[in-house]
Amino acid sequence: MLTHNTLKYKAWADRRTLDAVAQLDPLAQSEALAFARQQLNHMVRVEELFRARLLGEPAPHDSTNTDTLPQLDELDRRLMAANRWLAAYLDGLTPGQLQEPIRFVFVDGKQGMLSREEAIFHLVNHGTYHRGAIGHALDRADGNRPADTYTVFIHGSEPERRNA
């Protein structure tokens, strides 16, 4: 079952990753920065695609990435906006609505169906996967890879659970 903590965790981990990417030197660490921007762009576009699917709206994109990458500040703004929207959306759903199926078409033209809960879980899981790839690029570039696991998040936000 999704919890509000799950989406708080996602927003927290996204924020830590965006902040770490922003610390990269555009000249000395350009390859890692370009890779991170590509991954973040993909994450943002998938978030925007699934928002439309959850709302029953037309797809806002016909691909999950672009040839020209937005600047980091735009990716930051869009990803944080997606996180705020997703938290508000979850707040407005009843348990029954979470289980309702949504049917949609992937950008490759194939049909898909998930419950609303599964679609939201997909976004949490999808972000975790791509943050891991960005973290690897940060490591290779001697960047500052943030700890972004759920346990680090929960023990930071609820320290009393650390020694329970």
Instruction: Give the per-residue pLDDT at 162.
Output: 84
Instruction: Give the per-residue pLDDT at 39.
Output: 99
Spans of all domains in the chain: 4-161
Instruction: Give the per-residue pLDDT at 1.
Output: 53
Instruction: Give the per-residue pLDDT at 3.
Output: 81
Within 10 A of 104 (CB to CB), how many other CB atoms are there? Answer: 17
Question: Cβ(46)–Cβ(70) under 8 Å?
Answer: no
Residues of the chain with pLDDT under 50: none
Nearest to 60 by CA among 48, 77, 71: 48
Instruction: Give the per-residue pLDDT at 148.
Output: 93
Beta-carbon contacts of 33 under 8 Å, excluding residues fewer than 6 positions away, are 21, 24, 26, 72
Alpha carbon of residue 136 to chain centroid: 17
Say what the pTM is: 0.95
Which CATH number does the domain 4-161 belong to among 1.20.120.450, 3.40.50.2300, 3.40.50.150, 3.30.70.20? 1.20.120.450
Question: Cβ(3)–Cβ(98) under 8 Å?
Answer: no
Instruction: Give the per-residue pLDDT at 2.
Output: 63
